[in-house]
Amino acid sequence: MAGREKESGNEIMEKNIRTYMTLLQGSVDIQIDSFTETHLEMEPILHPQAESQHIDITAFLYAAIRLPDCIYAVKKILLGQSEEIFRSSGTEDIFHWQEVNAGARRRRTVFDGKGTLAFFVTSVSDIDDIIPSLVVFQTEWNKMCAYLSDSPIGKALVSGNVSAREADETLRKSLDISIEDWQLLQRGWGNLWDEKMKAIASGKKAIRLTLIKGGFSEYRRVVQQWWIELTRHFEETLIELRPIYLISSNMYSFSNMLTGYAAKHRKEILEFAFDMKVEGFERRWAQCQSDEDENGAADLLYYMTRDFVNSSEEHIKDFKEMEVEAGIMNFTQLECLDLPAQIIDIRKAIPERMDRRLRIKKIDSLRESRAMIVNIDYPLGFAAYHVFSQIAASAKKILGVYILGKAATMSARLGDIMIPNEICDLHSKNTFYFKNCFSLKDFHDLIRNIAVLDRQKAITVRGTFLQNRTMMQEFHKENFNSIEMEAGPYLCAIYENIFPDRYPVNAVLNFHNEAENMYDLGFLYYASDTPYHRRESLLSRSMGISGIESVYACSAATLRKIFTKEIRSVLEE
């Protein structure tokens, strides 16, 4: 790979993207192996053993949990934007295929049960996510196959004379995998374990892929249909005639803080948590009681509420009833776009049920509010551009935009909160400067064990596998501390909402001059991954209990910001 040193990390990444996007423009199936050379040349930081004969279990698992479980039986993959696009290509029976899901990615995916998988892509970011994941998955699958193909245990698995679980230790040693990695693989990919290991022993993967043609406008059409379905579902709220605050975040934290469900069922949730023996829960609960940490105790109850609610139909019914009473409505009819959303009618908020952190002065004034909160559940990458563009074009008035979520960090600790006021977008090559409506003072009574870092620099990347160590060093050198995937696309759409032209490329864009005339703009990230520490990064599928303080501190700060702004508006009328 002569000459690699002459190219920057970003240039090598761009070359890899151009390669697979160019090949996908053809009219024939493309072998996943066609993308391997530029993937290896990029030297992804999350796939460091790509060129080694040794099996990179953590990279394999990171890719596998972003693909549906049935991937072990898949031979061909179709990428398309909508049912109409699939139907126009001749895939008429796709309506009858089985819906399948991935553990760490939310996108509509269907399987015909015969070896063909179809992904519904909602933006170019889906392609940037799917292609590298497939390359990593197939590369490591074929390494395992090479170990097993001529081995006695491999032949026994294929013949059916023994199962993977029966020959567990022999199989592990044949693959030359450490006990720790073997246990990791079984925890993360253990469903259908015997079938998967038999399939690996049976032969190498040679997945073929087809991108069914559809223009850029088709992405917009899909999002437009999603918004039409959402507004139709909540027709009685007259949502398009009311001002809105837009949040991009998870949906459960706001329900927990507004309904009062956890406080009402405190005893039952605690008993449930202790019976479940959730790792770290009992110790953290005892610490909260010893420190008289009411916020921490509430967060722990919230952490267990979802599992408790889902443990019985009666609990689900009770929780939904309390959501409705608090003005919370959920949209999960996701026929065209797998993007759940939550509508919160602010005037229906019940102050006495709210989390104590939300009970600000004159909170009762909210019953005179006409505004609504629209909370969308993390669109992936550039899908954020299409979603915000649609909402901005349809909403009567936007009063605030608040983006909350996880980010990789270069120097913060896991769980620390980062407040950026500069974001570099690798999609558009734009750098955005803006006034973040959040500051340190918003968190003075919300945090206890974590830090809040303001005036941070964030960078929006194209995909999780699309960085290498050179890029990380460049990010670190330029003092970027947050690495995420949605802020840049959101800001490109926001630019088009406040300026009379399309967003430019490779430009420096300063929103400070518009700060007095535009809506609140808030970005909050909590550190969930550390790219320089590869193993910790790869295995941080869920922050678990360690992440709840930052999640609820960010949620509380956001709701207080909205409530304060809305109370002021009501009192001024």
Tell me how far apart the terminal alpha carbons of the chain are, to the nearest angstrom: 67
Residue-wise pLDDT tens digits, 195-231: 999 999 999 999 999 999 878 888 999 999 999 999 9
Please answer whether residues 500 and 524 qualify as being in contact, where contact means their C-beta atoms are separated by less than 8 angstroms.
no
- Distance (Å) of CA 500 to CA 92, 133, 205, 382, 493: 42, 38, 50, 21, 12
Residue 260 pLDDT greater than 90, yes or no: yes
For residue 540, pLDDT over 70 is answered with: no
* Average pLDDT rounded to a whole number, residues 437-464: 95
User: CA 342, CA 367: separation in Å to the nearest integer?
Assistant: 19
Question: Which pLDDT does position 1 carry in this prediction?
Answer: 38
122-146 tens-digit pLDDT = 999 999 999 999 999 999 999 999 9
- CA–CA separation, 173 and 179 (whole Å): 9
For 199, list phi and psi in degrees, rounded to 5.
Answer: -65, -40
* Torsion of the alpha carbons at 494, 498, 503 and 506, rounded to the nearest 10: -90
Strand partners, 76: 116, 208
pLDDT, tens digit (0-9, with 9 covering 90-100), for 316-343:
999 999 999 999 999 987 776 889 999 9
- Asked if residue 431 has pLDDT above 70, the reply is yes
Mean pLDDT of 295-322: 96
Using the predicted structure, report yes or no on whether residue 275 has a pLDDT greater than 60.
yes
Average pLDDT over residues 254-282: 95
pLDDT for 543: 59
The pLDDT score that the predictor gives to residue 531 is: 66
Helix ranges (DSSP H) in 361-404: 383-394
pLDDT band at 412 (very low <50, low <70, confident <90, very high): confident
Contacts of 265 (CB under 8 A, 6+ apart): 305, 308, 315
Q: What is the pLDDT of residue 224?
A: 94
Contact (CB, 8 A) for 523 and 413: no
Residue 362, by phi and psi: left (phi above 0), alpha (psi -120 to 50) or beta? left
389 with 496: CB under 8 angstroms?
yes
pLDDT at 84: 86
Q: How distant, in Å, are the alpha carbons of 64, 102, 120 from that of 334?
A: 24, 16, 12
User: How many residues are given for the chain?
Assistant: 573
Mean pLDDT is highest, among 13-27, 99-113, 194-208, for: 194-208
Helix, strand, coil tally for the chain in percent (to 5):
50, 15, 30
- Helix ranges restricted to H, 149-202: 152-159, 168-174, 179-189, 193-202
Distance CA 225, CA 411 (A): 41
What tokens were used for 226? 């999603």
Residue with tokens 């998988």: 117
Task: Compute the Cα dihedral for 98, 104, 108, 112 and give only its sign.
Answer: negative
E strands in 410-516: 417-425, 430-433, 452-460, 480-484, 508-510
Which value, in Å, is the radius of gyration of the alpha carbons in the chain? 24
Per-residue pLDDT, averaged over 548-561, amounts to: 97
Average pLDDT for 8-18: 88
Look at residue 556 and give its three-state secondary structure. helix
- Residue-level pLDDT at 214: 78
DSSP 104: S
Please state whether the predicted TM-score (pTM) of the whole model is above 0.95: no
Q: List the beta strands (DSSP E) in 308-429.
A: 328-331, 341-345, 372-376, 398-409, 417-425
Q: Stretch 499-527: mean pLDDT, rounded?
A: 91
- The strand pairing partners of 141, in sequence order, are none
Q: With a cut of 70, say whether residue 425 has pLDDT above it.
A: yes
Instruction: Choose among 341, 358, 268, 336: nearest CA to 305.
Output: 268
Asked if the model's pLDDT at residue 539 lies above 60, the reply is no
CA angle 66, 68, 71 (to 5 degrees): 110
Give the pLDDT score at 2.
40
The whole-chain average pLDDT of the chain stands at 92
Stretch 467-478: mean pLDDT, rounded?
90
Cα 465 to its chain centre, rounded Å, is: 14
pLDDT at 546: 79
Which is more confident, 369 or 106? Answer: 369
The CA–CA distances, whole Å, from 254 to 399, 551, 552 equal 18, 10, 9
Work out the percent of the chain whose per-residue pLDDT is above 90.
82
Look at 182 and 5; give whichever has higher pLDDT. 182
Residue 472 pLDDT > 50, yes or no?
Answer: yes
Reply yes or no on whether the pLDDT at 179 is more than 50.
yes
Contact (CB, 8 A) for 257 and 354: yes
Of 352-366, 388-402, 516-530, where does mean pLDDT reach its minimum? 516-530
pLDDT score, position 3 = 43
How many Å apart are CA 397 and CA 391, to the nearest integer? 10
- Tokens representing 183 are 């246990």
- Domains of the chain listed by start with CATH number: 4-211 (no CATH), 216-233+247-260+326-572 (3.40.50.1580)
Question: What is the C-alpha to C-alpha distance for residues 182 and 286, in angstroms, rounded to an integer?
Answer: 34
